[in-house]
Amino acid sequence: MRYESVIGLEIHAQLLTQSKLFCGCSTRFGSAPNTQTCPVCLGFPGVLPVFNRQVAELALKTALALHSDVPPFSLFARKNYFYPDLPKAYQISQYELPFARGGFIEIDLEKGGRKRICLTRIHLEEDAGKLIHGDGPDSVASFVDFNRTGVPLLEIVTEPDIRSPQEAKQFLQNLKAILTYLKVCDGNMEEGSLRCDANVSVRPCGQKTFGVKTEIKNMNSFRNVQKALEYEIDRQITMIEGGEDVIQETRLWDADKCLSFSMRTKEEAHDYRYFPEPDLIPVRIDGAWIEQTGRSLPELPEAKKSRLVKEYGISSYNAQVLTSSSDMADYFEECCRIIDKPQMVSNWIMVELLRELNRDNLDIASSPIKAKDLADMLKMMDDGLISGKIAKTVFTKMYKTGKKAAQIVQEENLTQITDQSELEKTIDNIIRENPGPVSDYREGKKKTLGFLIGQVMKASHGKANPELVNRILIKKLEDRQ
Ligand code: ADP
Ligand code: ZN
Ligand code: MG
């Protein structure tokens, strides 16, 4: 029997505010534990939360970019549970009246075509603290860092519209691109500023009703989401084929072991006893605010991708890679303003530059080679000042030293030799030193030409203009027949 998987995602995106959701504490990542806390986020009795307006601004941008409906007001609710990382013993979240409902993200399907993944809701909530388990001064101990407590999160819940782990990964990549274009979230899954829980079930192909789902948590990269889903789908199919029932439960993904294990079953699930938060008034979003925010949205990944294809004539694949971040698209466009060769520019960015950046785990924004400097170097190559081979050497040196191409070319005397008489001298030497291949050529073995060109290029340390070498060499070889 063939099976189909059904997947719905719950994503938490940390909003890029300076201060927390209900207090003035900093949200900076990586500070010493418990240095960014106050009575409000530590849940002291008698304190009152104050809503951070910037959070509404960022949530509104996101909701509009995702085509969601933003009602005139939303409400905060208390979600009660007891855990050491939650000092108030409740989390302020939204329940019955979320910030936004509906909306969608489109993904490209592997077999071609596009598909819409619908969103159920988008709501605001505060983050919990972080437990650290390790060695204490005297014994093994656990610690809690409350710096993250009260940091604003946007929770985005999808409908069960996703049909494969690959689609889930594509959805997350598109969502991350949108969030980072909007500058509402830094999208860093390793640092936890973008987190994803995945709900998955399987059913025989053709069956209308959904199967029993499980929820998988703790995946901190796109790759892990895909791998965890693949594992879970296999596990469920094996159970069903073996006559067992899938039970509704929450499972944790272990990336090192490449497997998931049960965390809690439905019976152990929390009863959150949601009730309206009495200390906060509704968040009101009026039409004028929506309209103004709608006008301020930047060009989003999809629109940018189509524009790059149309305006620069590059392939849709190249456009997809170049628009994976707005910084990369900006980089590409800045280069093209200096040298009007989009195909060449996109190749150099995607092959040469991304190889170096990926190896060093760097974003294009922190590339040692700035867009203008890459474009200037490509222009030197395009103008024939340096050969394509030398361009690669210059590129590597630029990346390593941060120097500009013109400086490297001058310091190392790498300018392409286009001086005819100088090249003729070198070529005469090569002809004299290689009588064997020369006479082979003259007897009709034209293949030796490549070898002789190689010798000339080598003698010129790669600086000879290859076209010129080709022309002069052929002339000299044929003339003397
Ligand atoms: P719960 O009550 O367990 O939180 P929800 O109905 O709120 O479940 O859905 C939570 C997430 O699970 C949503 O993203 C939804 O799309 C997804 N989901 C719901 N039912 C299924 C199912 N049978 N298979 C896969 N995903 C599902
Ligand atoms: Zn605080
Ligand atoms: Mg639910």
DSSP state of 245: P
Q: Supply the residue whose CA is at minimum distance from atom 11 of ligand 1.
A: 8
Contacts of 70 (CB under 8 A, 6+ apart): 60, 63, 64, 99, 100, 285, 290
d(Cα 229, Cα 5) in Å, to the nearest integer? 9
Measured in whole angstroms, the distance separating CA 352 from the mean position of its chain's CA atoms is: 19
Domains of the chain in start order, with CATH, are 3-289 (no CATH), 299-411 (no CATH), 420-479 (1.10.10.410)
Q: Are 260 and 225 in contact (CB under 8 A)?
A: no
Torsion angle of alpha carbons 399, 404, 406, 409, nearest 10°?
Answer: -30
- Does residue 236 line the site of ligand 1, with CB under 6 A? no
- pLDDT per position as a tens digit, 397-442: 999 999 999 999 888 888 877 778 888 999 999 999 999 999 999 9
- Confidence class of residue 480 from pLDDT cuts 50, 70 and 90? low
In 383-444, where does DSSP find H-type helix? 388-401, 405-411, 420-433, 435-442
2 burial level (CB within 10 Å; 0-12, 13-18, 19+): exposed
**Nearest CA, atom 8, ligand 1:** 199
In the chain, what percentage of residues exceed pLDDT 90?
A: 80
pLDDT computed for residue 463 by the predictor: 82
User: Average pLDDT, whole number, for the chain?
Assistant: 94
Within a 13 Å sphere around the CA of 177, how many CA atoms are in the beta-carbon half? 25
Confidence at residue 461, expressed as pLDDT on a 0 to 100 scale: 84
Name which of 176, 10, 155 is nearest 92 in CA terms: 155
Q: Give the whole-angstrom CA distance, residue 126 versus residue 206.
A: 41
Verify whether ligand 1 is closer than 6 Å to residue 103 (CB atom): no
Residue 145 phi, psi dihedral angles, 5° rounding = -110, 115
Find the mean pLDDT for residues 248-255: 95
Q: Which residues surround ligand 2, an ion (CB under 5 A)?
A: 23, 25, 38, 40-41
Average pLDDT estimate for 294-316: 96
For ligand 1, mutation pick of 6, 156, 196, 213 (most atoms within 8 Å of CB): 213
Closest CA to 62 of 28, 24, 17: 17
Pocket flag, ligand 1, residue 8 (CB < 6 Å): yes
> Quick one: pLDDT band at residue 136, thresholds 50, 70, 90?
low
- The pLDDT score that the predictor gives to residue 191 is 87
Integer Cα distance of 161 and 409 in angstroms = 55
Q: How far apart are CA 185 and CA 194, in angstroms?
A: 8
- C-alpha 11 – ligand 1 centre gap (Å): 13
**Parallel, antiparallel, or unpaired for β 90-93 and 77-80?**
antiparallel
User: For ligand 1, atom 22, which residue shows the shortest CA distance?
Assistant: 213
CB-side neighbour CA atoms (13 Å) of 456: 28
Three-class SS of residue 16? coil
CA of 24 to the centre of ligand 2 (A): 6
pLDDT in tens, 31-40: 999 999 999 9
Q: What tens digit of pLDDT does each residue of 9-56 get?
A: 999 999 999 999 999 999 999 899 999 999 999 999 999 999 999 999
Q: Which atom of ligand 1 is nearest to the CA of 212?
A: 23
* Identity of the amino acid at 8: G
pLDDT at 481 over 60: no
